[in-house]
Amino acid sequence: MNGCEASHKAPLGTVETRSLSTVTSLAAATESLITAVSNVKSEPPPFSSGVVRLQVPVDHQIGALDWLHAQNDALPRSFFSRRSDSGRPELLQDLSSENVNGTCDANPVSVAGLGSALYFSDLDSFSHDHWTLIRRFLSPNSPLIRAYGGLRFDPNGEVGVEWEQFGSFYFTVPQVEFVEFERSSMLAATVAWEDELSWTLHNAIEALEDTMLQVSSVIVRLRRESLGVSVVSKNHVPSKGDYYPSVNSALEIIKEKYSPLSKVVLARSSRIITDTDIDPIAWLARLQCEGKDAYQFCLQPPGAPAFIGNTPERLFYRKNLGVWSEALAATRPRGDSEVSDLEIERDLLTSPKDDLEFSIVRENIREKLSAICDRVIVKPQKTVRKLARIQHLYSQLAGQLRREDDEFDILNALHPTPAVCGCPVDEARLLIKQIESFDRGMYAGPVGFFGGGESEFSVGIRSALVQKGLGALVYAGTGIVSGSDPSSEWNELELKISQFTKTLEHEPALQTIN
């Protein structure tokens, strides 16, 4: 059922969560859910619309990604894993006494979804009306009923054939979910219905029962060491020969006397062909190993490729009236020793070109948050954030929203950030449309979830679109500002996609096409 087709915004008849008794095994959880679904069928809620979540706690931790890998890959899939964030509590002390990062076991680490109880997608740009239709199905009283998904980077850009099934945006409330906590797990099933859309509770239950019959309780832990594939070729769009003139053209516009443009982010799409199909979930598991301080995600609508990512960057996190964001820009590799790593860090912190690129991002986000918040704080003004293969300039920002319903305005204000588009945004996006010859799709767009009590979105960078029989498209971009050098920017693109290419097992037959 596509919730965007509803013609009214009246509240649902019911939004509820029913928690069942804790069990000791995944098989027992599956049986418990099947019985609970049958009970809902025999004693249906007396409403013409609603959403009911049934959940069974499991008393030990099981990896959500391991569970998803064991399921039928013909069904729609979703996955979202929050990153660890030791910096957030420091900002929270200035805004709230509530520790939302917390150590509470009720805070999910990762959520894997199978099937779709309800989805939201449209060819038109994501609007306030679309957001309102999603929020109808959410409630603070059922915090784990969430709509997972993402938006295109440019909703008005020409859609490539590889991105057609995603629409301008795609969000899903999964039929079956596996939730991984710090010390336990949970299996859940959700039914959603809307008589106005000719999708009755009976229809929803029958569809859920069909999916439940396909759920596997036999979980084998994913091997994180290898994928068992070999890279045959890489083909970059733009090629190296086309990329250099594009950078120089952008620099000429930036340097023009009356040009408002101070930064533009130029991206590249790299087609990687392997000798056998890449398993997107197994690839994500490998990325997860070196992405402890990053979000991992997978979005796969029916019949679509899988969009996966291992992104370090938050767009925003909202809980009640608190909202948190961050600035992340400028890139250097990690050093091969502690001494060289510190030397590279010092070079990054003292580089005028990188300071300019980063300052543009930080101040732009500060201005956007100030428009929707009573107060905004920035801590620190500039530091270095180190990841497994690279390091960036980094700053945290937090604000106090005027109204909790300003969530759509947060998304609308912050996307796209100068870190993935440029500044000013409108001029940068226009130049990107003129220069780039491929569809970014959801690359560099918001990816995350809307929830009744909280919402969180990452920026869909360090990402790839994995297609059966067609290998993968891996995306990366670099910020072009005054002082940028085409050769250095190309090397940065190579560095950014390295976490994808180097997590493939071996590359003996590598052929690079420039």
- Residue 305 falls inside a structural domain: no
For residue 92, is it within any domain?
A: no
Out of 82-96, 104-118, 223-237, 468-482, which region has the weakest mean confidence (pLDDT)?
82-96
Q: What is the mean pLDDT of residues 22-42?
A: 96
Question: pLDDT higher for 101 or 482?
Answer: 482
Q: Which pairing describes strands 446-451 and 454-459: parallel, antiparallel, or unpaired?
A: antiparallel
Q: Which residue has the tokens 């502690």?
A: 338
Q: Is 85 helix (H, G, I), strand (E, B) or coil?
A: coil
DSSP for 270-338 reads: EEEEESS---HHHHHHHHHHT-TTSEEEEEE-TT--EEEEEE--EEEEEETTEEEEEEEEEEEEPPSSH
Does residue 97 carry a pLDDT above 50?
no
- pLDDT tens-digit profile of 459-509? 999 999 999 988 999 999 999 999 999 999 999 999 999 888 888 754 333
pLDDT tens for 325-344 read 999 999 999 999 999 999 99
Domain membership flag for residue 297: no
Total number of residues shown for the chain: 514
Reported pTM: 0.93
Which residue has 């969430």 as its token pair?
Answer: 146
Q: What is the pLDDT of residue 93?
A: 53
Dihedral Cα 112, 116, 119, 121, nearest 10 deg: 90
Are the CB atoms for 302 and 254 separated by under 8 Å? no
Residue 428 is encoded by which pair of tokens?
């940068």
Quick check: is 25 in a domain? no
Count of the separate structural domains present in the chain: 1
User: Band of the pLDDT at 91, cuts 50, 70, 90?
Assistant: low
Radius of gyration of the chain (CA): 23
* Residue 500 domain flag: yes
Is residue 19 in a domain?
no
Domain extent, residue 396, equals: 231-278+313-504
Secondary element (H or E) of residue 146: strand 146-151
Classified as helix, coil or strand, 389 is coil
For the stretch 368-393, pLDDT in tens is 999 999 889 999 999 999 988 899 99
pLDDT tens-digit profile of 242-257? 999 999 999 999 999 8
CATH code for the domain in which residue 274 is found: 3.60.120.10
Confidence of residue 134 (pLDDT cuts 50, 70, 90): very high
Please, what sign has the CA dihedral across residues 254, 259, 265, 269? negative
215/98: higher pLDDT: 215
pLDDT digits (tens, 9 = 90+) for 194-210: 999 999 999 999 999 99
Residue 352 lies in a domain: yes
Let me know if residue 40 belongs to a domain.
Answer: no
Q: How far is it, in rounded angstroms, from Cα 308 to Cα 271?
A: 15
CA distances in angstroms from 257 to 39, 107, 253, 261, 368, listed in the order given: 71, 52, 9, 10, 26
352-374: average pLDDT: 93
**pLDDT, mean over the chain:** 91
Share of the chain above pLDDT 70, in %: 93
Contact assessment for residue 57 and residue 184, using Cβ atoms and an 8 Å cutoff: yes
Name which residue leads in pLDDT, 402 or 171: 171
| pLDDT number for residue 212 | 95
- Dihedral sign, CA of 281, 283, 286, 287? negative
User: Which residues are bridge partners to 300 per DSSP?
Assistant: 77
Q: What is the pLDDT of residues 289-310, one digit of tens each?
A: 866 689 999 999 999 999 999 9
State the pLDDT at residue 104. 39
Q: Region 66-72: what's the mean pLDDT?
A: 95
Tell me the C-alpha distance between 257 and 474, whole Å: 36
Measured CA to CA, the distance from residue 474 to residue 116 in angstroms comes to 26
Q: In this structure, are residues 164 and 305 in contact, taking their beta carbons and an 8 Å threshold?
A: no
